[in-house]
Chains A and B, each alone.
Chain A
Amino acid sequence: MAVKHFDTLIVGSGFASTFFLHEYLKWAPESERVVVLERGLINSATPGKNYAEAKGMPFHKTMINLNPSKVWVQRLGFGGGTCWTGNSPRMHPNDFRTASLYGRGDDWPFQYSELEPYYCDAEDLMGISGGESAVFPRSRPYPLPPHRLNGLDREFAKKYPGLHFAMPCARPSAPGSGRAVCCSNGVCESCPVAAKFQVDFHMRAVYADPRVTLITEANVVQLDIQNGQVVGALYESAGEEHRVTCDLAAVGAHGIMSPFILLKSGLTDPALGRYLNEQIAISVDVLLDGVKNYDGSTITTGYGAMKLDGEFRRDHPGFLVENWNLPWLRAERGRWQERGYFKLVFEELPQERNYVAISDVDPSKPAVNYVDNSDYGKTAFAMADSFVAELLSGMPVESYKVEVPETLDGEAHIQGTTRMGTDPATSVVDANQIHHKVRNLLCLGSGVFTTCPAANPTLTLSALSLRAARKLKGQASPV
């Protein structure tokens, strides 16, 4: 078998890997050779129905789920999790230090101010639509203006001035991003007008760089680690085994496959594969009284930060309000639009007992054992009714129904299994996402999250990837 050598090996081609690669190539020499090994296929169907039907590999078949009541949502393929809706809120500044402030979880190894410039760069690359907010201090404005709020948003904004505003998102609110303006189709997973930012549509140029070799349908079995250094990888393609050698490796599969590959490679860090987590969510169906809704300009119009941060986080999790704008009408004459739907998305505490391991039954697959939510997280369900009652009190609401999931459900945000920290006993990578012991190995993606904030992870993991590449190249500040 011929073994090809590359300077850099990247596993996966989703947001984490692609943003890293985009930044890395800025400083890499002309002679640099990068290989990207992607397990899935390129979905070359046209946006819309055809794209939706070319879903690729069923995610659940790639693992052994030891607790079927926990659902794991992801889509495999070039460009990564294209099940992404495009919501792009930042983490709250206090999300980086919940241990110091509230005695919960762990502090991240750096603070919001450190990540802020990279947030801006990631937002520029994605063409995010958003508005100013005191909740999230910014050094630069968003590239596009905020989306239009809907009727229910306007009521929230009236009741909670400064704490309810347009959801920052990768769905253009106006021309200027080089993509179509979002027309609120509500089927973001397969945006029929390719308005929503996606790696596979809008970052293909990175893979057209002559220094980059993309190999799809390449299932990485393990890295070859010798004397504390990654020297290559073994992967399967079309039933055959292949090897590559490399000087640097970055693993950016998702939060289940990344730790699995590292475990298969012989790494034994105590935290590797552990602390698997994602947010907890409940939804609310509201019948409004005299308020016409659904007149916003995108699928999720509003972001509520009224209970995102505060001393209460010592006792129960903070949450963000995600207000939706899908036209789910009401069958009552003249009141068709007097209805709303929003979600409360709660932070969660990562727990060591929830883990990814090598399956005993089929060692070619990860065993995923999510035992349960934390007691802290469970208070979200216990207090759901009182949270919603408080949110809606005094608003023009006729009635509402709180929907608490009957199973553990899934938020499509797989996090925490290669977590970042300063202590090798409880983390896998350092503040620059480099493995504590294997110093030419980086972990990318939401697996590195130290905690589980309420925010959707894509923007943060993309900003982290930009930062990791820049730190690696010794570039102190964004260009």
Chain B
Amino acid sequence: MAVSRRNILLAAGAAVVGVMTYTGFTAKPEAIVVSILQRRLGYLKVADDTFQKFAAEYILYKQKDAKRLQMLALIARPLRVVTPYSVLPQGHALRRLENDVVGRFLLATDFFQNGADEQRRLQYIGFFDPLERPCSNPVMRFANMESAS
């Protein structure tokens, strides 16, 4: 086969499709969750396996979305570097996913109990599911409490 620009482009295209297909079949939905957390909260002090631990619990909780999350795992690596969040319209599915992942992660830790102090080492308490762990909403304040700091 002649080495032409057309063939090189076709081969490159086929390679990209192949890699994406392979990734699509082998990607774990947890990957997208970990990528979002690394991109958004990488500066926080957490134990090495904390993001992974949360991701596993998140996928278990979102079982009905597992297929969609697995497809999104295709963009897990680039998402660690750059996110289109700020240019997407409010309410876009990807923005909602990032809000949900980041929000649920922070609620699953002692971040808010410690005044949202980024310098403190985070402790992972457990997945934020009030049916399993009642009265664990860290941002609510009872009627007789002072405002959050």
> Which residue of A is nearest B138, CB measured?
A327
B139 at the interface (CB under 8 A from A): yes
Q: Point out the residue from A52, A297, A329 that lies within 8 Å of B99, measured CB to CB.
A: A329
Q: Point out the residue from B90, B103, B116, B147 that lies within 8 Å of A401, measured CB to CB.
A: B90
Cβ of A327: which chain B residues have Cβ within 8 Å of it? 103, 107, 137, 139-140
Query: Quick one: given A52-B131, A294-B139, are A285 and B91 in contact (CB under 8 Å)?
Result: yes
**Segment touching B, from A145-153, A362-370, A453-461:** A145-153
Q: Choose among B130, B137, B142, B143 the residue with the greatest number of A CB atoms under 10 Å from its CB.
A: B143
A333 to B40, CA, bound (A): 8
Q: Is the interface of A mostly helix, strand, loop or mixed?
A: loop
**Segment touching B, from A187-195, A251-259, A385-393, A426-434:** A187-195
Q: Distance (Å) between the CB of B67 and the closest chain A CB?
A: 22
Is B134 a contact partner of A193 (Cβ separation < 8 A)? Answer: yes
> Which residue of B is nearest A294, CB measured?
B139
B119 at the interface (CB under 8 A from A): no
B94-118 vs A, Cβ < 8 Å mask (1 yes, 0 no):
0100111111001100000000100
> Which residue of B is nearest A147, CB measured?
B143
> Which residue of A is nearest B90, CB measured?
A401
A49 to B130, CA, bound (A): 9
A174 to B144, CA, bound (A): 9
A350 at the interface (CB under 8 A from B): no
**Segment touching B, from A178-186, A210-218, A308-316:** A178-186
A325 at the interface (CB under 8 A from B): yes
Is A49 a contact partner of B132 (Cβ separation < 8 A)? Answer: yes
Cβ of A48: which chain B residues have Cβ within 8 Å of it? 131-132, 134
A102 at the interface (CB under 8 A from B): no
Q: Choose among B91, B132, B137, B148 the residue with the greatest number of A CB atoms under 10 Å from its CB.
A: B137
A192 to B106, CA, bound (A): 22
Is B132 a contact partner of A285 (Cβ separation < 8 A)? Answer: no
Q: In the complex, how many residue pairs between chain A and chain B have their CB atoms under 8 Å apart? A: 98
Q: Point out the residue from A49, A285, A295, A334 that lies within 8 Å of B141, measured CB to CB.
A: A295
Q: Point out the residue from A193, A285, A287, A330 that lies within 8 Å of B103, measured CB to CB.
A: A330
Is A174 a contact partner of B143 (Cβ separation < 8 A)? Answer: yes
Is B135 a contact partner of A183 (Cβ separation < 8 A)? Answer: yes
B85 at the interface (CB under 8 A from A): yes
Interface set, chain A 159-213, CB cutoff 8 A to B: 173-174, 181, 183-187, 190, 192-193
Q: Distance (Å) between the CB of B131 and the closest chain A CB?
A: 4
Q: Distance (Å) between the CB of B111 and the closest chain A CB?
A: 9
Query: Quick one: given A399-B90, A401-B90, are A295 and B140 in contact (CB under 8 Å)?
Result: yes
A336 at the interface (CB under 8 A from B): yes
A142 at the interface (CB under 8 A from B): no
B145 at the interface (CB under 8 A from A): yes
A203 to B116, CA, bound (A): 42
Q: Distance (Å) between the CB of A337 and the closest chain B CB?
A: 6
A296 at the interface (CB under 8 A from B): yes
Cβ of A296: which chain B residues have Cβ within 8 Å of it? 140-141
A400 at the interface (CB under 8 A from B): yes
**Which residues of A are interface residues toward B (Cβ below 8 A)?**
48-49, 52, 145-148, 173-174, 181, 183-187, 190, 192-193, 285, 287, 292, 294-298, 325, 327-331, 333-334, 336-337, 339, 399-401, 403
The 8 closest A-B pairs by CB, nearest first: A329-B103, A185-B130, A184-B140, A183-B135, A331-B102, A192-B134, A49-B131, A331-B98
Question: In the complex, given contacts A183-B135, A331-B40, A399-B90, what are 5 additional A-B residue pairs having Cβ atoms less than 8 angstroms apart?
Answer: A48-B131, A184-B140, A296-B140, A334-B116, A336-B106
Q: Can you report 10 A-B residue pairs in the complex whose CB atoms are below 8 A from each other?
A: A145-B143, A147-B143, A183-B142, A193-B135, A295-B140, A297-B140, A327-B103, A334-B116, A336-B102, A403-B91
